[in-house]
Each structure stands twice: as structure tokens, then as C-alpha cells.
């Protein structure tokens, strides 16, 4: 009998999300676990994402920046160099390929960026701008989905009945003779409810990206926000508001079932009772993509494998990091055993 394999699910979820966006941009798959540089790039991207939200005294006293008192600048410089090294190589090579006439069709996002023209037929973006945009795509794609799926599985391992409900839904909607496809996702409402609950209870960051008020305004008829104020929206404050959510600290996916028009669970909340992806005029333009990546990742992990805690682990550590991010303190480790026919994994 095949013995279960112990898996670091934080690496699995992060590298999967990195692979998806890499394939969309470069039409290339990463060989995580084989090519160390591919793993280093995604790890560096996550370092950059974390430090977007870190507090630094030099943000408010810019003249202190030269001293790098908290060491953030050195960390960011190192991570940036690692994250952009492979991006620069890919972009430079692709641009040269177009110049040499060896490409004629736009096959991926990078081709589209290179071939964008203004009204005069001139390139709309220079090389530096293209590279910056590619890095932005990576940073905007990998954090929310990977964090949500890791937390869902962590909660499910402590409440196996939740995992069983999700697997039963997959068995009914998809079956065991084929892999779940994007066309199946609208009917996987319990799976999506689990993800939405993770967004509510375990957001990737405590706050959204800071914004500046461009004019005096009043919110909720009693909160006056002066022009020039730095505005932060608390993801934790919304998702764990006891006046909105019953048992706000308990992981209960069922609370999201039947709440949406038409009966289909979506991962956003227009009433702002939780914040999964940003919302409003500056909302995330890729909500559909992020939702699809997240749901497909969780669905395939649940469909393809039986998950259990490692031996001598009666329960899973659900303590959030004391840092500014809200990862679990330790990466989620779990034993995986294939639950489908061997031919499905070839």
C-alpha cells in the first residue's frame, strides 16, 4: 500500500499561483522542485509583497531613508534583484525575437504588451515599463489565492467534516473519472463558500493598500475624513465584525450559502461585509481570474488527494503570524494520498 507523502502546502499553493501567471505571461511552465531559481523568484515576489505593507519610519520622515534604520531597504533591494532577474531575461529575449521577425502572432500577455501601439503606431510602452508591468502582474496574482487555499485546508484538517462535504460536492459535480474544469466552477458552491470564509476570517493582510483622500468627505453620515488623509480599510475589522457576522471567529462556510442572487456563491461582497479582492473604482480588474485560480487550485487538491495531518499532530496550528501579514505562524504540512485512479495522474 502506498504511504502518504508529507507536503508543504504553503510551497504548493504559492508555486502553483506563480506557475499560472508565468504561463500566462511567458507561455512557460516553471519546474518547481527541480529548478531552484524558479522557486527563488516566487519567494522573492512574496518578500516584496510583504514589505509593501510594512511600516517604515522613513515613510513619514523621508530624510531617514538613507540610514535604512529598520533594514527594509536592503531586504527589498535583494528581493527585487532576484524577482526581476528572470523577468528581464525573458522580456529582452522576446523583444529581440519580435525585432528579428521570428514572431508574427501574439500568443501571451508579454506579446500583447510589446505590440501595444499608440495612435501614431509607436510602441505604447518602453522596455522598462514592460518589465515593471510584468512584475506587477506577478505581485498582484500570487498572494490572495495561495493564502486563502492554505487557510482553507488548515481549517478543514481540524474540521474533517468540512473537507468531506467539499469532496462530496466534487464527486457529484465532477465525478472521479475526469479532472475538474473551469466550466464546473459555477456549480462548486460549497468549495467557493469555504474559500470565501477564508477570505473573511484569514485575509492575506490586515489592511488594504493605503489611499489618500483627494477631498474632504463624510462617510456613513458621521465620519469626517479631511483632504490629504491616509485612508486604510481594515480587512480584519470587516470580516470579523460581530455586528455583521454570527460567531465571527469561527470558520463556518455555510454562512455564505444562499446569500447571493441566483444561488451562485461569488468570492466578492458588494455590501463590503468582507474584502476578498479590492472593490470600487480602484477595485481589482482581475477578480474573475483571481477567483478562478483560487477555486481551481482548491478543487484539484481536494479532488486529487486525501489529506491528513502528519502523525502525532492531533490538531493544526491556526495561530496567525504576529507580523503584519496574516499567514499561519508555520507553513501547513499535511500528508497527501492519491484518491483517484493512477491513470489520472499521468
Binding-site members for heme are 284
Closest CA to 79 of 55, 45, 37: 45
What is the distance of C-alpha 162 from the center of its chain? 22
Ranges of beta strands (E only) in 180-267 are 211-212, 217-219, 223-225, 230-231
One DSSP character per residue, 204-225 reads SBSB---EE-SS-EEETTTEEE
Residue with cell 459535480: 173
For 290-332, list the strands marked E by DSSP.
Answer: 305-308
Distance between CA 23 and CA 31 in Å, rounded? 12
CA-closest candidate to residue 204, choices 50, 42, 23, 6: 50
Q: Which residues pair with 123 in a beta bridge?
A: 117
Contact 280, 271 (CB under 8 A): no
Annotated binding site: 284
Give yes or no for a contact between 141 and 20, defined as CB atoms under 8 angstroms apart.
yes
Measured in whole angstroms, the distance separating CA 313 from the mean position of its chain's CA atoms is: 27
Query: Residue 9 in contact with residue 150, Cβ under 8 Å?
Result: yes
Burial category of 27 from C-beta neighbours within 10 Å (exposed 0-12, middle 13-18, buried 19 and up): middle
33: left (phi over 0), alpha (psi -120 to 50) or beta: left
Cα 58 from Cα 114, distance rounded (Å):
36
Amino acid at each position: 500500500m502506498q504511504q502518504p507523502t508529507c507536503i508543504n502546502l504553503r510551497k504548493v499553493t504559492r508555486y502553483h499561483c506563480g506557475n499560472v501567471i508565468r504561463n500566462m505571461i511567458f507561455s512557460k511552465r516553471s519546474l518547481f522542485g527541480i529548478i531552484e531559481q524558479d522557486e527563488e523568484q516566487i519567494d522573492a515576489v512574496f518578500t516584496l509583497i510583504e514589505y509593501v505593507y510594512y511600516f517604515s519610519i522613513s515613510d513619514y520622515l523621508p530624510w531617514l531613508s538613507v540610514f535604512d534604520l529598520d533594514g527594509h531597504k536592503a531586504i527589498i533591494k535583494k528581493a527585487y534583484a532576484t524577482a526581476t532577474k528572470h523577468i528581464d531575461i525573458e522580456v529582452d529575449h522576446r523583444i529581440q525575437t519580435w525585432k528579428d521577425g521570428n514572431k508574427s502572432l501574439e500568443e501571451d500577455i508579454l506579446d500583447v504588451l510589446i505590440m501595444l501601439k499608440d495612435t501614431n503606431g509607436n510602441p505604447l510602452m518602453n522596455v522598462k515599463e514592460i518589465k515593471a508591468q510584468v512584475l506587477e502582474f506577478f505581485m498582484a496574482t500570487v498572494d490572495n489565492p495561495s493564502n486563502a487555499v492554505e487557510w482553507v485546508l488548515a481549517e478543514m484538517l481540524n474540521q474533517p467534516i468540512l473537507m468531506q462535504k467539499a469532496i462530496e460536492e466534487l464527486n457529484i459535480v465532477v465525478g472521479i473519472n475526469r479532472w475538474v474544469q473551469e466550466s464546473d466552477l459555477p456549480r462548486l458552491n460549497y468549495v467557493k463558500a469555504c474559500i470565501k470564509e477564508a477570505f473573511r476570517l484569514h485575509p492575506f493582510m490586515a489592511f488594504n493598500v493605503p489611499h489618500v483622500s483627494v477631498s474632504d468627505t463624510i462617510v456613513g453620515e458621521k465620519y469626517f475624513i479631511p483632504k490629504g488623509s491616509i485612508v486604510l480599510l481594515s480587512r480584519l475589522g470587516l470580516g470579523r465584525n460581530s455586528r455583521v457576522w454570527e460567531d465571527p471567529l469561527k470558520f463556518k462556510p455555510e454562512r455564505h450559502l444562499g446569500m447571493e442572487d441566483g444561488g451562485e456563491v461569488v468570492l466578492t461582497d458588494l455590501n463590503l461585509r468582507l474584502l476578498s479582492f479590492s472593490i470600487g473604482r480602484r477595485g481589482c480588474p482581475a477578480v474573475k481570474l483571481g477567483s478562478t485560480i483560487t477555486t481551481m487550485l482548491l478543487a484539484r487538491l481536494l479532488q486529487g488527494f486525501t489529506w491528513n495531518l502528519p502523525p502525532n499532530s492531533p490538531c493544526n496550528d491556526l495561530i496567525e503570524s504576529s507580523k503584519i501579514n496574516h499567514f499561519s505562524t508555520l507553513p501547513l504540512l499535511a500528508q497527501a494520498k492519491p484518491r483517484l485512479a493512477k491513470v489520472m495522474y499521468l
